[in-house]
Amino acid sequence: MNNKQYAQTGRLMFIIAWLMLFVLLFVFFYSYNESEQGSYQVEHGTITITPDAEGHYRIDGYINDYPVKFLVDTGASLVAISQNLAAQLGLQGRYVIRLQTAGGEVTGSLTRLQKLSFGRFTLNNIKAVIIAGGKEDEVLLGMNVLSQFNLSQQDKRLMIKK
């Protein structure tokens, strides 16, 4: 082989190496995103939730028959809804309150939810707080709801039952 052939072979190997790297990165991030979501199942009056990649427990549900995503938060005293989602749900705040969160103190306003449901469970007349900002599409499921259930954890799965 002459120098020109060595140069062409070197360039080809360089291109192949970069393509392989991009394919590996794509596969890695694609599989990471697929496993990022947790899951849940409802059987015999028990909801079993598997955590997502961040270790959070999420479950689909409804507020006043409007579909929402709940984040189970045992550190939250009340159900917490973003201001934008509350507006979509037609919820009005009544009393302004100050809350201590992991991120510091925030101001919110109290409201009542006519109906809150997840899995096979439905609760009525639930106190909630509307907070400016926050994740617009996610509702914190706080202890005012969770305390009405038996919670247990096994093999990183959270079980909720009445």
Domain coordinates in residue numbering, the chain: 1-36, 39-161
pLDDT at 27: 65
Dist CA 162 CA 154 (whole Å) = 17
pLDDT at 149: 95
Task: Please give the sequence-ordered ranges of beta strands (E in DSSP) within the chain, or none if there are none.
Answer: 39-43, 46-50, 58-63, 66-72, 79-82, 96-101, 104-118, 121-131, 138-141, 150-154, 157-161
Pick the CATH number of 39-161 from 3.90.1300.10, 2.40.70.10, 3.40.50.300, 2.120.10.90: 2.40.70.10
Task: For residue 90, name the pLDDT band (cuts at 50, 70, 90).
Answer: very high
Q: Give me the amino acid identity at 149.
A: F
Non-local (6+) Cβ contacts of 148 within 8 A are: 123, 162
Pairing of strands 39-43, 46-50: antiparallel
The CA dihedral of 141, 103, 77, 120, to the nearest 10 degrees, is 10
pTM: 0.74
Q: Is residue 34's pLDDT more than 60?
A: no
